[in-house]
Amino acid sequence: MIKETAKQIEERFGKMDIKIPINEIESRLEKLVNEFKVPAEEAHRSVVNYFLKEYNIPRGDFYTQDGEASTIKVNEITTDGKWVNLTAKVAQLWDNTHESIDQVGLIGDETGTIKFIKWARAELPGLVEGKSYMFKNVVTSSYQGRFEITMNRTSHIEEIQEDIEIGTVDVEFEGAMVDIQAGSGLIKRCTECNRALIKGVCGEHGKVEGTYDLRIKAVIDDGLIVQDALVNREVTEQLTGITLDEAKQMATQELNQEVVLEKMTEKLLGKYYLINGPRLDRYILVETVSPLPPMEAGKVDALLAELEV
Partner 1 sequence: MASQYSREVAHRVFAQEFRDSDLSFKDSNDQYSPQYLLTPTGAKVNRMFIVGTLTEKEDIGTDAEYWRARVVDPTGAFIIYAGQYQPEAARAIAEMEAPAYIAIVGKPSTYQTEDGNVLTSVRPESVHIVDEATRQRWVAETAQRTMERINNLNGNSPDATKAREHYNTEVSVYKQMLVDALKEQTQE
Q: Are 226 and 244 in contact (CB under 8 A)?
A: no
- The reply to whether 205 sits near Zn ion by the rule CB under 5 A is yes
Residue 104 or 202: the one with the smaller Cβ distance to Zn ion is: 202
The residue within the footprint of partner 1, chosen from 17, 19, 21, 37 (CB under 8 A), is: 37
- The reply to whether 22 sits near partner 1 by the rule CB under 8 A is no
Sign of CA dihedral 196, 199, 201, 207: positive
276 Cβ neighbours under 8 A, 6+ residues apart: 170, 171, 172, 173, 284, 286, 287, 288, 289
Residue 52 or 264: the one with the smaller Cβ distance to partner 1 is: 264
Which contiguous run of DSSP H or E holds residue 44?
A: helix 40-54
Pick what 120 binds: Zn ion, partner 1, none; C-beta below 5 to 8 Å, kind-dependent.
none
The residue within the footprint of Zn ion, chosen from 190, 242, 250, 286 (CB under 5 A), is: 190
Distance between CA 206 and CA 64 in Å, rounded? 60
Closest approach of Cβ 207 to Zn ion, in Å? 10
Closest approach of Cβ 131 to partner 1, in Å? 13
Q: Are 102 and 120 in contact (CB under 8 A)?
A: yes
Distance between CA 43 and CA 28 in Å, rounded? 9
288-294 contacts, C-beta under 8 A, 24 or more apart: 288/235, 289/231, 289/235, 289/238, 289/239, 292/174
- The reply to whether 202 sits near Zn ion by the rule CB under 5 A is yes
Closest approach of Cβ 237 to Zn ion, in Å? 24
Closest approach of Cβ 117 to partner 1, in Å? 13
Residue 40 or 196: the one with the smaller Cβ distance to Zn ion is: 196
Distance between CA 38 and CA 217 in Å, rounded? 42
Burial 227-242 (b: 16+ CB within 10 A, else e): bebbbebebbbebbeb
Closest approach of Cβ 293 to partner 1, in Å? 6
Closest approach of Cβ 147 to partner 1, in Å? 18
> Per-residue DSSP letters for 178-194?
EEE-TT-EEEEE-TTT-
The residue within the footprint of partner 1, chosen from 1, 56, 67, 253 (CB under 8 A), is: 1
- The reply to whether 300 sits near partner 1 by the rule CB under 8 A is yes
- The reply to whether 306 sits near partner 1 by the rule CB under 8 A is yes
Q: How far is CA 208 from CA 142, 212, 265, 270, in A?
A: 48, 12, 28, 36
Pick what 192 binds: partner 1, Zn ion, none; C-beta below 5 to 8 Å, kind-dependent.
Zn ion
- The reply to whether 76 sits near partner 1 by the rule CB under 8 A is no
Write out the binding residues for partner 1, residues 207-236 only, by CB under 8 A: 219, 221-226, 228
Burial of residue 75, with CB atoms counted within 10 A of its CB: 0-12 exposed, 13-18 middle, 19 or more buried: middle
Residue 58 or 126: the one with the smaller Cβ distance to partner 1 is: 126
Q: Are 224 and 212 in contact (CB under 8 A)?
A: no
The residue within the footprint of Zn ion, chosen from 204, 266, 281, 301 (CB under 5 A), is: 204
Q: Applying CB under 5 A, which residues contact Zn ion?
A: 190, 192-193, 195, 202, 204-205
Q: Applying CB under 8 A, which residues contact partner 1?
A: 1-2, 30, 33-34, 37-40, 92-95, 105, 129, 176, 178-179, 219, 221-226, 228, 265-266, 269-272, 282, 292-295, 297, 299-301, 303-304, 306-308
